[in-house]
Amino acid sequence: MKRIIVIGAGASGMMAAIAAARNKAAVTVVDAMERAGKKILLTGNGRCNLTHMDEHPEDSCFGADRGWIRAVMRQFPPAETRRFFAELGLPTFEKNGYVYPVTGQASSVAAVLTAEMRRLGVKLKLSEKILFLEKEDRIWKARTASWCYEGDAVILACGSKAAPKTGSDGSGYELARMTGHRIVPVSPALTPVICEGDFFRSAAGVRCRAEVSLYPRGTDGKSRGQALHRERGELLWTNYGVSGILVFQLSRFISSSRRPEKELILEADLLPDLSEDELFRTISARAEALGRERISVLFAGMLNEKLIPLILKNAELTGKDSCEKLLREKGRIEALVHGIKHVLLIPKGTKSFDACQVCAGGVDTAQTDCRTLESRLRSGLYFAGEILDVDGLCGGYNLQWAWASGYTAGRAAASDGTPGPV
């Protein structure tokens, strides 16, 4: 019977262990934390958005070549994830394309995975950190401070550097380096963005519907060229910058830039459901109706009151100016429209690894086989999950990557590296 060591008891590690054990391997899972699946408990604000209804998840993932990601995802697509968890006694439901456990609890996901590992006879060794990994005489040896685990194959599934309190402390990268693998520079992803300026403290806590676009920054300090990424949803203003899911989706591009304040710019459209022409007509009609009323009153029903001073300042107006002034002075309304639809934010960087959900970067996927996730450098060594240079958008994409990569690595490791269907 083939002996397999899985390093890491997160989502991808547990899936890898189950896939390997179902293929008749003797599996031992080793993890430095005191319980399995600790990071799963944080996903989806404790509800665990465990996958999605997207038939092409690779289109929402970054890092590795898209074809490489597709080859892994096709071996265990989202439909298979839903079927797998239903088999384990955890039915799911879909909301706006996102898939959740019917219990609404992330702990349910960790519980059924742990139960399945027990049923299959997987040995789970907790509170044990692997410090050294080597291969001697065709046998892989994973050493802790006091023990040495031996196996015919090893699956590295010990996460990234995101949320280190859950066990993702980056130590897996060092184990990969020990075996000769290159690490693509690692940076936070799915995290808040820190911006320049002193306005943010006054707007902290404001939530508004917006569309945020990330552009290359021109020498004139304005956006240029095609948007690198664009998202629409709820924007959260903080005392240091901006947050919310739509900002998380953009953050990997900012954190991976050496000088984001010089290279990138964010544009926020604070009324994305109105075109510029529609907004111009709306402001003109309201200004006509309000006459001598202050401009701040005109926007009372359109924008959060804490955001109005920013818009007026950018248009060189004050809240005390009258609506009549807008109609009297040519170009004022156009300036307001532009100020609302193109709020410029200068990103200085992102929050640290402590605050991010996943990381961009990781083990170079060019050094692995997409059919098996086995190393091209060292036979019998496999990778799964966040340790690889693959990260996805919010919405279940990162967990779907964990399930697909864990299944692919576990199945192949137990089957002497036999590729699965692609």
Listed residue (37, 391, 404) closest to 188, CA to CA: 391
pLDDT in the model for residue 418: 65
Average pLDDT estimate for 2-17: 98
Q: What mean pLDDT value characterizes the chain? A: 94
Average pLDDT estimate for 42-52: 90
Average pLDDT estimate for 92-116: 96
Residue 295 and residue 315: Cα distance in Å, rounded?
12
Sheet order of strands, 92-95 included: 51-52, 98-101, 92-95
Count of Cβ atoms closer than 10 Å to residue 2 Cβ: 17
pLDDT in the model for residue 420: 60
- As its CATH architecture, domain 3-186+362-414 has 3-Layer(bba) Sandwich (3.50)
251-302, pLDDT tens digit by residue? Answer: 999 999 989 999 999 999 999 999 999 999 999 999 999 999 999 899 989 9
pLDDT in the model for residue 422: 45
pLDDT in the model for residue 314: 84
Q: Which pTM does this prediction carry?
A: 0.93
Type of residue found at 197: G
Which positions ≥6 away from 3 have C-beta within 8 Å?
Answer: 25, 26, 28, 150, 151, 152, 153
353-367, pLDDT tens digit by residue? Answer: 999 999 999 999 999
Provide the percentage of residues in the chain whose pLDDT is more than 70.
98
Residue 307 and residue 39: Cα distance in Å, rounded?
36
- 377 pLDDT more than 60: yes
The upper half-sphere exposure of residue 336, i.e. CA atoms within 13 Å in the direction of its Cβ, equals: 30
Bridge-based pairing of strands 343-345 and 148-151 is unpaired
What are the start-end ranges of the E strands in 16-173?
Answer: 26-30, 51-52, 61-63, 92-95, 98-101, 123-125, 132-136, 139-143, 148-151, 153-156
pLDDT in the model for residue 421: 53
The full set of domain ranges for the chain reads 3-186+362-414, 192-350
Q: How confident is the model at residue 151 (pLDDT cuts 50, 70, 90)?
A: very high
Residue 374 and residue 352: Cα distance in Å, rounded?
31
- 399 pLDDT more than 80: yes
Listed residue (390, 397, 419, 408) closest to 66, CA to CA: 390
Is there a contact between 170 and 164 (Cβ–Cβ < 8 Å)? yes
Q: How confident is the model at residue 127 (pLDDT cuts 50, 70, 90)?
A: very high
Is there a contact between 302 and 263 (Cβ–Cβ < 8 Å)? no
167-223, pLDDT tens digit by residue? Answer: 889 999 999 999 999 999 999 999 999 999 888 999 999 999 999 999 999 877 777
55-102, pLDDT tens digit by residue? Answer: 999 999 999 999 999 999 999 999 999 999 999 999 999 999 999 999
pLDDT in the model for residue 44: 80
pLDDT in the model for residue 198: 87
Average pLDDT estimate for 145-165: 96
Average pLDDT estimate for 310-338: 89
- 345 pLDDT more than 60: yes
Q: How confident is the model at residue 417 (pLDDT cuts 50, 70, 90)?
A: low
- 237 pLDDT more than 70: yes
- 374 pLDDT more than 80: yes
Is there a contact between 13 and 155 (Cβ–Cβ < 8 Å)? yes
Residue 229 and residue 213: Cα distance in Å, rounded?
6
